[in-house]
Structure 1
């Protein structure tokens, strides 16, 4: 018995020794309030995604999940044939990459958990750091990648995505948005095929001209607004992007695995990275909703207002733009009359658009003057200071249009600095809108672009608003500055643009900036880090804008979508006002052609808008009736306290026999009472809503709803809801 006991004791010690020598796998938990992304390592010491889904109450439970042998990050030329997330051509021309786990760090600061995971190629001094920010209250994760090396010569980055997410399910339904000039945000939802699918942009300066770098992915079944599992993501980048989806066939270990690879498009962009320098990818921002697309949008909106948009919580300025009224044809007298109209409307800003500059080559059309940012003395003999002062007398702020990234061949800038222009040396110039693109990868061009803004604001300190435009994409591109690094151009251009915007923000933190690019070609969070709002489309027809603004709301708050009342479309003025008031209200219309009733209606709309603007800007968005397959549309915005809300309702081109569903409100407090007030009435004695002025409970409004009250085509209504004791 003694021998048996001794043997047992020896066995126990031997097992204990083995347990002590056994490597303890790391457990890296990146967690918001509702979602956890968890990593560990596999048998090859490669990072492996252990879990992505709802937060578990006990962190110890994550260690109970069976780890996959598949690495979380697919690399070029290693041991897999899957679509690579990262790839490199080393200095010795080895085209492969392997990454092993080194260590990780994490820290919590109030609402944000920051995590860094260090990886390294075992054969090369090549390092990759994965960065994560988990925003607890917003249930949003921001992810990006930093790459650096200490090889003797430059390496070439072939693939460099921002994130690497894996899902396992039978089916996925992809919602994406595409289009073109004046036809932005056409929604498509389809079953993701078993293949490699991508959403891409290759237009350089105008990253979102044809596709949005944003998507929603419903897992298992198509999601609706308030039910279903939905991953929503958006890339913060103003240039070429690629959202990759590799939907693999079923295997025993993973089931049907979907790999999601969002990042900069590597199209003709093998990036040459010198030793001891860092390459940082743009951020991929995403959220996982377990209660439908609506909650995914509300998560992104909350994150955007708090972190993603420059001064996102602040209300934006209402304005009157001169473009529709004058085009290029104006003088001081005409602009003074428009300042009077701005004052009469009650808007905050008068915005002077294109055409105010150029002397040797006057900017009287789009074929001359671009790049010569000096006031046209013939049009404006007293300069901008005179106009700024006249605006101040009328209690109106002054705004200005600029396009610092572009140049006309017919300009002094073109003559003085041909080396600053992107164009192939042995090809004919390829013009778009009669203009060419300046080389923003060149520090001298960056200085020039900054000085365009700096000089305007130094000479006119009263200017409070800038519309930053970009009216063409990149073609025929060659950089004199980059020389042998031409493949860096598409990336270094955008990085150079961001350097300029950073300088502008550092020196002029209070300037309000509209992010605009030939319509909705920069609808993304890379530029919105520096801008207060963006221009969704040059198409301001209100029927089209209902679809567009509804579509953009999947990823962007309503309050940053510039929505102007213009001459586009033949709808009544009230309809145009009601549509524009669902976004950031502005006017680009001939106010002097309004009759007294139309002017009064517009003035009243401006006042009403300012009373509800805080809700438009930061309220929670509930999409109630989609306009895509209906001749009606409705949505509402609710403030955080649930004391105030705004309901928008529209009919489009109705047909005889159309049936319209009631409007069931959402997001209200069922225990509160709300008084309903219809805004923008043309006749105060003839409201369209029969319950106008009545008090109804939140419970009633959400369960019984409001019977559809708009009769006929092109009708609209805005209902303000206020809680009462």
Structure 2
């Protein structure tokens, strides 16, 4: 009883102090807390302001029928006491009452480390049809310091983008030690995390485990290529691990291409707190008065119908709102890398341009090795940064190749890696101060290269000039493959006054360059490569039409890699090439690559007659099917990690057409599709028929094209693609039988 009396007295005194000093705090006589519901088509997030002006997150999940009942949610939980009153803070601060991981930590101009953020006001506006923006302003009653929280809701897709703006008007600078984009608070019986790890050629390796008390941190400190070891995407299943079609699951992703940090804390009340944003590692930020620090957006969606529904929400959102030209077309291509590597000249490339036409793809892509003269780019040890055509290999320059491509009725694209430099290069000799390095430390290389300092405006101009120069000289240039292979060692800028700002200013510089490029060249397709999946995120994909999932193009490996990427990214954004990796036949390799944006990196002249004919026919078929693959709803039917068969289905919005990809991922004796595969996403009342496509020349399909099945039958019983050791990949076109 003494404890309760003391606690009540303390709260009363605190309330009196706040009310007397700050007119924006709710009055004590207001018995009902202010509830701010934010609803989408199926879901809702509810915030609440109490009498002390504290902003809390009281609900996130499936939308309630009665909007007034969100206020009753907190009373339904009878957990242990919240001694701080801030466990469910919408944006938790440090140095005052909060005892758990904060979203924001600061040192004020007078040296004080405490921060308390109180509600001021909020506005909810319609940005455009289907998009709403909630803006909540918070202030510290003791300091002229404020944070504005933004929640942008995409109603039909059930997707939220959340970010924050931090500013102050103190007499001096404030140091930001942590500056998260979002701070979520979830209630549930237990929580399961699905996260990813990897390395070069081993991207998107999944792990799922129950979260225990304490903090689990997902982060990157690589500076560039930040997703190399730890992607910033994850899933949280509530109560039990979600399956493809059942369970409650949250998908989260930070829209940022640099160092990220996600803290997942199960607190002493057994609730989950998610704090996501830029990694504050080595990055305390000195904020001047009236300067605005804007965090990147944290993206999340929720489904109570399993992982598949969450994926489709996110993919629809990406195509409609975020991915560059997400509703458009993509170019099929032939890349020269595996045909020539660095060893090529004009005559070799002229033959490859003819092969491009013969194969039937849209574009020829010239890869690494076309530039540098003093230190010729004949390997990966020199020349990077010297973006003049190599006169020995290309005496007539890129322009002659662009013209030759046009003569062959194909387009021409080119590889660049403009953020990097070889230590052995003219650029390094002329501008050593443009390179990220510590003068007092020995240089240390990642893939024989260093990173250019994009926090430097002169370097930004240079990188922009690499791209602009290519297009200025070659207006018909139709495609850019933008690579980024090195991570940052010895992080230091020769021109930046505050080295603690380096990692942040590097990414600001990169985005400035990409914005300039897109302002002048808004529609040119660009592939985001980064040695594989090293920089795949939705901030970067605002500027790129597609990404390169992995340098590992073994088709069996790619089935697993592309499967995991599909949880977060639509097929139209996944660049998949047919190469000579692996021991599978050309049909299997092509069938796997068709699950996204199709390309080839093979020696066409070495293809046999039937192989070439198959590729040409497959490309023609792909061009007819790609509208469904690019824009259709995706359904993962048979998980290769759970059996010997992988099956992926794409269905158009009218549920009239589909494409079903089937693969045998085991070569053990007598393996095959012994059970029918249950389809999803069809209309149970419609009738459907199947046609096998990509049938290899000289063989015939065992699929009965005359058979008709109801959608009900196909979703309850299924269809057997008849996979076997002699039929390891089967692609089926599905059409409504009229």
Q: Aligning the two structures, in what range does the TM-score lie when normalised by the shorter sequence?
A: over 0.9
Tell me the alpha carbon deviations over residues 574-611 of structure 1, each in whole angstroms, 9 at most, x when there is no partner: 00000000111000111110011100000011111111
1:525-604 correspondence to structure 2 within 5 Å: 525-604=538-617
Q: Distance in 2 between matches of 1:664 and 1:204?
A: 44
- 2:366 aligns to what? 352
- 2:74 aligns to what? 66
Asked if 1:493 corresponds to 2:506, the answer is yes
In structure 2, do the counterparts of structure 1 residues 19 and 515 end up closer, same or farther at CA, with 3 Å as the change threshold?
Answer: closer
Match of 1:48 among 40, 44, 56: 56
Q: Cα distance, 1:294 vs. partner?
A: 0.3
- 1:306 aligns to what? 320
- 2:348 aligns to what? 334
Q: Cα distance, 1:119 vs. partner?
A: 0.6
- 2:37 aligns to what? 29
Q: Distance in 2 between matches of 1:448 and 1:103?
A: 44
In structure 2, do the counterparts of structure 1 residues 661 and 146 end up closer, same or farther at CA, with 3 Å as the change threshold?
Answer: farther
Q: Cα distance, 1:275 vs. partner?
A: 1.8
> Is the 8 Å Cα contact of residues 342 and 349 (structure 1) preserved in structure 2?
yes
Q: Cα distance, 1:704 vs. partner?
A: 1.4
1:106-117 correspondence to structure 2 within 5 Å: 106-108=124-126, 109-117=128-136
In structure 2, do the counterparts of structure 1 residues 19 and 380 end up closer, same or farther at CA, with 3 Å as the change threshold?
Answer: closer
Q: Distance in 2 between matches of 1:370 and 1:360?
A: 11
Q: Distance in 1 between matches of 2:149 and 2:727?
A: 51
- Residue 604 of structure 1 aligns to a residue whose secondary structure is helix
- 2:737 aligns to what? 724
- 1:158 aligns to what? 177
Match of 1:87 among 99, 102, 105: 105
Q: Cα distance, 1:26 vs. partner?
A: 2.9
Q: Cα distance, 1:462 vs. partner?
A: 0.3
1:13-28 correspondence to structure 2 within 5 Å: 22=30, 25-28=33-36
1:306-705 correspondence to structure 2 within 5 Å: 306-483=320-497, 485-656=498-669, 660-683=674-697, 686-688=700-702, 690-705=703-718
Q: Distance in 1 between matches of 2:70 and 2:428?
A: 61
> Is the 8 Å Cα contact of residues 653 and 713 (structure 1) preserved in structure 2?
no
In structure 2, do the counterparts of structure 1 residues 19 and 364 end up closer, same or farther at CA, with 3 Å as the change threshold?
Answer: closer
Q: Cα distance, 1:685 vs. partner?
A: 5.4
Q: Distance in 1 between matches of 2:179 and 2:257?
A: 16
In structure 2, do the counterparts of structure 1 residues 19 and 82 end up closer, same or farther at CA, with 3 Å as the change threshold?
Answer: closer
Tell me the alpha carbon deviations over residues 443-495 of structure 1, each in whole angstroms, 9 at most, x when there is no partner: 11111111110010011000010001001111111111212x11111111111
Q: Cα distance, 1:245 vs. partner?
A: 0.4
- Residue 465 of structure 2 aligns to a residue whose secondary structure is helix
Gaps of 5+ in 1: 1-17, 251-255
In structure 2, do the counterparts of structure 1 residues 87 and 573 end up closer, same or farther at CA, with 3 Å as the change threshold?
Answer: same
Gaps of 5+ in 2: 1-25, 76-81
Tell me the alpha carbon deviations over residues 407-431 of structure 1, each in whole angstroms, 9 at most, x when there is no partner: 1111111111111110001011111
Q: Distance in 2 between matches of 1:179 and 1:563?
A: 19
Q: Distance in 2 between matches of 1:225 and 1:345?
A: 38
- Residue 561 of structure 2 aligns to a residue whose secondary structure is helix
In structure 2, do the counterparts of structure 1 residues 161 and 370 end up closer, same or farther at CA, with 3 Å as the change threshold?
Answer: same
- Residue 425 of structure 1 aligns to a residue whose secondary structure is coil
Q: Cα distance, 1:434 vs. partner?
A: 1.2
Match of 1:204 among 220, 223, 238: 223
- 2:18 aligns to what? none
Q: TM-score with structure 1 length normalisation?
A: 0.94
Q: Cα distance, 1:658 vs. partner?
A: 5.2
In structure 2, do the counterparts of structure 1 residues 583 and 373 end up closer, same or farther at CA, with 3 Å as the change threshold?
Answer: same
Q: Cα distance, 1:694 vs. partner?
A: 2.9
Q: Distance in 1 between matches of 2:351 and 2:233?
A: 42
In structure 2, do the counterparts of structure 1 residues 488 and 714 end up closer, same or farther at CA, with 3 Å as the change threshold?
Answer: farther
Q: Distance in 1 between matches of 2:454 and 2:603?
A: 37
In structure 2, do the counterparts of structure 1 residues 713 and 438 end up closer, same or farther at CA, with 3 Å as the change threshold?
Answer: farther
> Is the 8 Å Cα contact of residues 233 and 287 (structure 1) preserved in structure 2?
yes
Identify which range, 198-207 or 677-686, moves more after superposition.
677-686
Q: Distance in 2 between matches of 1:441 and 1:20?
A: 49
Tell me the alpha carbon deviations over residues 121-158 of structure 1, each in whole angstroms, 9 at most, x when there is no partner: 11111111111111011111111111111222222111
Q: Cα distance, 1:651 vs. partner?
A: 0.5
> Is the 8 Å Cα contact of residues 76 and 84 (structure 1) preserved in structure 2?
yes
Q: TM-score with structure 2 length normalisation?
A: 0.93
Identify which range, 642-651 or 91-100, moves more after superposition.
91-100
Q: Cα distance, 1:96 vs. partner?
A: 1.7
Tell me the alpha carbon deviations over residues 219-277 of structure 1, each in whole angstroms, 9 at most, x when there is no partner: 00111101100111111111111111001133xxxxx2100111111111112222211
Q: Distance in 1 between matches of 2:177 and 2:447?
A: 33
Match of 2:266 among 247, 270, 274: 247
- Residue 461 of structure 2 aligns to a residue whose secondary structure is helix
Match of 1:233 among 249, 252, 263: 252
Q: Distance in 1 between matches of 2:562 and 2:369?
A: 29
Q: Cα distance, 1:27 vs. partner?
A: 2.3
- 1:288 aligns to what? 302
> Is the 8 Å Cα contact of residues 654 and 713 (structure 1) preserved in structure 2?
no
Q: Distance in 2 between matches of 1:24 and 1:419?
A: 61
In structure 2, do the counterparts of structure 1 residues 683 and 361 end up closer, same or farther at CA, with 3 Å as the change threshold?
Answer: closer
> Is the 8 Å Cα contact of residues 575 and 714 (structure 1) preserved in structure 2?
no
Tell me the alpha carbon deviations over residues 80-114 of structure 1, each in whole angstroms, 9 at most, x when there is no partner: 21011111111212122110111111112310011
- Residue 163 of structure 1 aligns to a residue whose secondary structure is strand
- Residue 383 of structure 2 aligns to a residue whose secondary structure is coil
In structure 2, do the counterparts of structure 1 residues 693 and 202 end up closer, same or farther at CA, with 3 Å as the change threshold?
Answer: farther
> Is the 8 Å Cα contact of residues 409 and 435 (structure 1) preserved in structure 2?
yes
Tell me the alpha carbon deviations over residues 15-74 of structure 1, each in whole angstroms, 9 at most, x when there is no partner: xxx999537643222221011111111232111112211112222222333378432222
> Is the 8 Å Cα contact of residues 571 and 714 (structure 1) preserved in structure 2?
no
- 1:6 aligns to what? none
Q: Cα distance, 1:657 vs. partner?
A: 6.3
> Is the 8 Å Cα contact of residues 391 and 397 (structure 1) preserved in structure 2?
yes
Q: Aligned pairs, how many?
A: 701
- 2:79 aligns to what? none
Q: Distance in 1 between matches of 2:722 and 2:138?
A: 60
